[in-house]
Amino acid sequence: MSFKTLDQADLAGKRALVRVDFNVPMDDGKVTDDTRLRAAKPTVDKLRAGGAKVILLAHFDRPKGKVVPSMSLQPIVAPLSKVLGVPAAFAEDCIGQKARDAVNALRPGDVLLLENVRFHAGEEANDPKFADALAANGDLFVNDAFSAAHRTHASTVGLARRLPAYAGEQMRLELEALDRALGHPERPVLGIVGGSKVSTKLDLLKHLVTTLDKLAIGGGMANTFLYAQGHDVGASYCEKELAETARDIIRLAGQNNCKLFLPLDIVVAEKLAPGAPARVRDVGSVDDDERILDAGPETVERLCRAMNNSKTLVWNGPLGVFEISPFDKGTMEAARHAAELVKAGKLVAVAGGGDTVAALNAAGVAGDFTFVSTAGGAFLEWMEGKVLPGVAALNQ
């Protein structure tokens, strides 16, 4: 990867347009989780220390090119100022006179948040005129929003083609971690892919079995693979129409010497509810009214042994319905085992995707993994081997 970092930039007095991800959880106009605000702090701090004027660009929700007051970024200003430890100014537009006046008022080290870029249809269309209007307020461009790097938008790709472009600190960490996990990993590499649907991760599975040494499939999608092998899955969620596709993936794994791990035993219950009576069953020994809701102890033990014999782990998706006890046990045990190996210096573990991050947080080990990506779609597309437009634009 040949992107430029902030260490290579002349920042003094420069207007730095910084694409950040502030699409944060909100409730009644208040930020309920400031993780993404905190993720932007290292980049903002570095730019301020170098004497730049920091101008933040972000989107919130999906206003679809129209001004939607409930999707304004203004409620983020106060919590952002608290995270940064300095007051952030706000402009009621991201282009035009209001943006220009706010930018002109900045002194080196000041921070300004511009209004939601998606209030303009030109953002998602990567419209040249809109990109020109954004670029007019900057001397250099910093992309710190890996989570939006799979979008060909004006604030991710258009700006990188108009101004000297650099990767922000969060973007740099993300790209270095992903390169270490999938680009140039230390082998053997083990992948864990969970979640409910095979249909949403077909490209991912087909790519991983051609690049990884071992792949464990868990969650609801494992039910489809078990069904494809002729096992009864009872009342479990299962995409039966994808049975042949699952068999194709199993064959593809064999052709590429990728060892596939499917459940050996499972945890079942008649209903999905906290504290519901749960039983461990061998694969295929499921009653008609039972649902598979977690990986069984033998399956988890084998997965932990596979981690012991691996150098790199890439994880996307839980092994069961981790939000509800007792169906969280498989995911929790596997996550904690991976964390112990990382702390012992025996494993590089990179994880990503919304459910995965939530599961690792629930297990209390997100901080122990080598890297945890908060990006959803971008992380998945990277794992699928796709070129991300926002990253490619930095490489130009």
Q: pLDDT, tens digit, for every residue of 273-298?
A: 999 999 999 998 999 999 999 999 99
Question: Could you say which of 41, 180, 197, 386 is catalytic?
Answer: 197
Clarify whether 41 is annotated catalytic.
Answer: no
Residue 31 predicted with pLDDT over 80 = yes
Residue in the block written with tokens 């969650």: 219
Clarify whether 50 is annotated catalytic.
Answer: no
- Three-point CA angle 350, 356, 359, nearest 5°: 115
| Contact call for residues 319 and 194 (beta carbons, < 8 A) | yes
* Residue 353, pLDDT score: 83
Residue 377 predicted with pLDDT over 90 = no
Residue 354 predicted with pLDDT over 80 = no
Question: Could you say which of 36, 46, 162, 214 is catalytic?
Answer: 36
Burial class (CB in 10 A: 0-12, 13-18, 19+), 327: buried
The Cα 219–Cα 25 span in angstroms is 25
Burial class (CB in 10 A: 0-12, 13-18, 19+), 257: exposed
The whole-model pTM stands at 0.89
List alpha helices for 212-328, DSSP H.
Answer: 219-228, 243-255, 297-308
Bridge partners of 112?
A: 55, 89
Residue in the block written with tokens 């597309």: 381
* Residue 64, pLDDT score: 96
The Cα 230–Cα 379 span in angstroms is 33
- Residue 16 C-alpha from the chain's centroid: 25
Burial class (CB in 10 A: 0-12, 13-18, 19+), 387: exposed
What band does 396 get if pLDDT is binned at 50, 70 and 90?
Answer: low
Question: Could you say which of 13, 183, 284, 354 is catalytic?
Answer: 354
Residue in 59, 55, 77 with CA at minimum distance from that of residue 120: 59
Clarify whether 36 is annotated catalytic.
Answer: yes
Residue in 146, 145, 144, 149 with CA at minimum distance from that of residue 169: 144
Question: Could you say which of 96, 377, 385, 386 is catalytic?
Answer: 377
Q: Which domains does the chain have, with CATH numbers?
A: 6-172 (3.40.50.1260), 185-383 (3.40.50.1260)
| Contact call for residues 191 and 215 (beta carbons, < 8 A) | yes
Clarify whether 320 is annotated catalytic.
Answer: no
Radius of gyration of the chain (CA): 23
Residue 257 CB-half CA count within 13 A: 3
| Contact call for residues 293 and 319 (beta carbons, < 8 A) | no
Residue 328 predicted with pLDDT over 90 = yes
Q: Which residue has the higher pLDDT, 380 or 88?
A: 88
